[in-house]
């Protein structure tokens, strides 16, 4: 895209890179760029008064460390009854890339100690009923054939499950058929803590500026390809402008409106469908101590992926917590601290048809969300009791979770389609990129940002200097860990040691596959 070593006279309002939004994506991209180009100038702008206050915050959904070990929506059953593991393998490999990157910057002393943001915890899939048990068994058989899922255990023995997940089994009907899989190499990642750790490092580096309470009002590109970003200081109420050679819009739900304001042709036709969420948070320390796992079940038909129910142990601000949910809902806000007019203001002549088409094609989702909104406390408790039969209402409080904006994009046949992943939209000249979408976002941030660098910094990315540095940061860079079992085992052992995580015992398969 451009020669970063080129000497240039910079004015006060000029920089190389502007990162919009102080979440995990901007933090990851900022650290990567400073590792690859220590002299690059980076300015970061965040509307709130701190980093990671929206989707990256531990209370706002991001916290599992999605590695496809336990999320059943990543392994759909095909019409012929077989299990498709393609997406699960891709996500698992992406998470291993994140682990390698974190281990590299921890090992070099570049960021805070791993105990601040990551810990070991088993990832468990739990189901009940004949049909679901059969599905889980088939899923297990398909997954243990993949080297990246080596060590996965399966059991449909209630006595074994009582050892794995006592809280889930306590008080359960003995006649109910149940099954679970377990990966002891699962992790709990506090992405809010990791994000703040990364920004602390970035702020200490030369030619890097992070400014909070700055709202991006507009951005436009001049004839020379530079972007001019108009900002408002929300404290002084004064406006200012800065120009940059490259802009990354990583503002979570706020990315879509800014992408639309940029006017790039690649962003035309994109819309967003906001989905809100809520958690039941346990307030009884005795109950919290009895559970030590992330237990995921099957989602209801028509529900969005981020609504897959899970009984989730986390450590937040150094304290163990137990959450259940999330319960989905609908809000016209694009951010938890956004405006109720966000959805209306995102409408454009070029995205109205895709949004209407996607809405009509996803009526089951709409009905599901309406049902979630009108749930009573007793309804929510009953859902919890599917996973924790002895749950008592007085031990739980309802808390608002994060806000997600699902991607709606043009489709030549259907008019518009609703997608549930993450998508990088970049201008053809590589000077601007925006990240849209939700899960598994944070967990695969490093892989997503590598893809962005390859698209937007094409010449630099291909250079031997960048390639060598990326192989140093991510030893598996350019290879598939699932296709190299020995390397996968070696790197998982290395990252476990550096990040102080448990290594799985070489588990004998519980079933003959």
513 residues of the chain, pLDDT tens digit each: 444 444 343 335 899 999 999 999 999 999 999 999 999 999 999 999 999 887 777 777 655 668 999 999 899 999 999 999 999 999 999 999 999 999 999 999 999 999 999 999 999 999 999 999 999 999 999 999 999 999 999 999 999 999 999 999 999 999 999 999 999 999 999 999 999 999 999 999 999 999 999 999 999 999 999 999 999 999 999 999 999 999 999 988 888 899 999 999 998 888 887 877 788 999 999 999 999 999 999 876 656 655 688 999 999 888 999 999 888 777 788 777 778 777 777 878 887 787 778 677 776 776 767 677 678 889 899 999 999 999 999 999 998 877 777 778 787 888 887 776 788 899 999 999 999 876 667 899 999 999 999 999 999 999 999 999 999 999 999 999 999 999 999 999 999 999 999 886 543 333 333
Q: How many CB atoms lie within 10 A of CB 434?
A: 27
3-state secondary structure of 513: coil
pLDDT value for 475: 97
Query: What one-character DSSP code corresponds to residue 83?
Result: B
Domains along the sequence of the chain with CATH: 14-459 (3.50.50.60)
In Å, how far are 115, 120, 313, 394, 502 from 497, measured between CA atoms? 12, 12, 22, 41, 8
Q: What is the pLDDT of residue 7?
A: 37
Q: How many degrees, rounded to 5, is the angle at CA 468 between CA 456 and CA 40?
A: 50
Consecutive H or E run containing 366: helix 363-373
Quickly list H helices, 326-422. Answer: 342-345, 352-361, 363-373, 377-385
Provide the percentage of residues in the chain whose pLDDT is more than 70: 91
Taking the C-alpha atoms of residue 228 and residue 243, their distance in angstroms, rounded to an integer, is: 4
The predicted structure's pLDDT at residue 289: 96
pLDDT attached to residue 11:
39
Calculate ∠ Cα 379-381-383, nearest 5°. 75
In 3-state terms, what secondary structure has residue 286?
A: helix
Query: Residue 509 contacts by C-beta under 8 Å, 6 or more apart in sequence?
Result: 144
Contact 45, 231 (CB under 8 A): yes
At 79-97, the pLDDT tens digits run 999 999 999 999 999 999 9
Chain Cα centroid distance, residue 5: 33
Distance CA(160)–CA(196), nearest Å, equals 39
* Beta bridge partner(s), residue 227: 221, 244
Specify the pLDDT at position 439: 62
Report pLDDT for 259: 92
Closest CA to 12 of 209, 205, 202, 199: 209
pLDDT at 275: 77
């Amino acid at each position: 895209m451009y020669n970063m070593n080129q000497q240039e006279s910079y004015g006060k309002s000029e920089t190389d890179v502007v990162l919009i939004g102080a979440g995990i994506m901007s933090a990851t991209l900022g650290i990567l760029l400073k590792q690859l180009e220590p002299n690059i100038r980076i300015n970061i702008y965040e509307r709130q008064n701190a980093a990671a206050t929206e989707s990256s915050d531990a209370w706002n959904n991001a916290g599992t460390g999605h590695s496809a070990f336990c999320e059943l929506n990543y392994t759909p059953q095909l019409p012929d009854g077989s299990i498709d593991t393609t997406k699960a393998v891709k996500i698992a490999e992406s998470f291993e890339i994140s682990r390698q990157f974190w281990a590299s910057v921890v090992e070099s002393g570049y960021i805070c100690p791993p105990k601040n943001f990551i810990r070991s915890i088993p990832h468990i899939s739990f189901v009940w009923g004949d049909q679901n048990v059969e599905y889980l068994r088939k899923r297990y058989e398909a997954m243990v054939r993949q080297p990246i899922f080596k060590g996965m255990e399966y059991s449909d023995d209630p006595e074994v499950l009582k050892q794995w997940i006592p809280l889930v089994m306590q008080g359960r009907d003995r006649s109910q058929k149940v099954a679970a899989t377990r990966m002891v190499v699962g992790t709990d990642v506090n992405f809010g803590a990791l994000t703040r750790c990364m920004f602390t490092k970035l702020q200490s580096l030369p030619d890097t500026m992070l400014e909070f309470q700055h709202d991006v009002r507009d951005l436009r590109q001049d004839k020379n390809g530079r972007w001019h970003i108009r900002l408002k200081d929300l404290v002084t109420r004064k406006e200012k402008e800065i120009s940059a050679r490259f802009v990354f819009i990583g503002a979570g739900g706020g990315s879509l409106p800014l992408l639309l304001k940029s006017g790039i042709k690649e962003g035309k036709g994109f819309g967003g469908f906001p989905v809100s969420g809520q958690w039941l948070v346990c307030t009884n320390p005795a109950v919290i101590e009895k559970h030590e796992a992330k237990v995921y079940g099957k989602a209801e038909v028509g529900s969005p992926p981020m609504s897959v129910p899970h009984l989730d142990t986390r450590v937040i601000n150094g304290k163990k917590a137990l959450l259940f949910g999330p319960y989905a809902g609908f809000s016209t806000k694009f951010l938890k601290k956004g405006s109720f007019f966000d959805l209306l203001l995102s409408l454009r002549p070029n995205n109205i048809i895709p949004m209407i088409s996607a809405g009509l094609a996803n009526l089951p989702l709409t009905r599901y969300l309406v049902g979630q909104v009108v749930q009573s406390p007793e309804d929510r408790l009953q859902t919890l009791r599917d996973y924790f039969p002895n749950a008592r209402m007085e031990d739980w409080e309802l808390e608002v979770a994060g806000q997600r904006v699902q991607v709606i994009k043009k489709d030549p046949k259907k008019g518009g389609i609703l997608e549930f992943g993450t998508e990088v939209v970049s201008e053809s000249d590589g000077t601007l990129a925006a990240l849209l979408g939700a899960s598994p976002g944070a967990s695969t941030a490093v892989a997503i940002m590598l893809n962005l660098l390859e698209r937007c910094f094409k010449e630099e990315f291909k250079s031997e200097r960048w390639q060598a540095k990326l192989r140093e940061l991510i030893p598996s860079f350019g290879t598939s860990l699932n296709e190299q079992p020995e390397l996968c085992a070696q790197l998982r052992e290395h990252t476990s040691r550096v990040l102080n995580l448990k290594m799985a015992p070489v588990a004998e398969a519980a079933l003959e596959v």
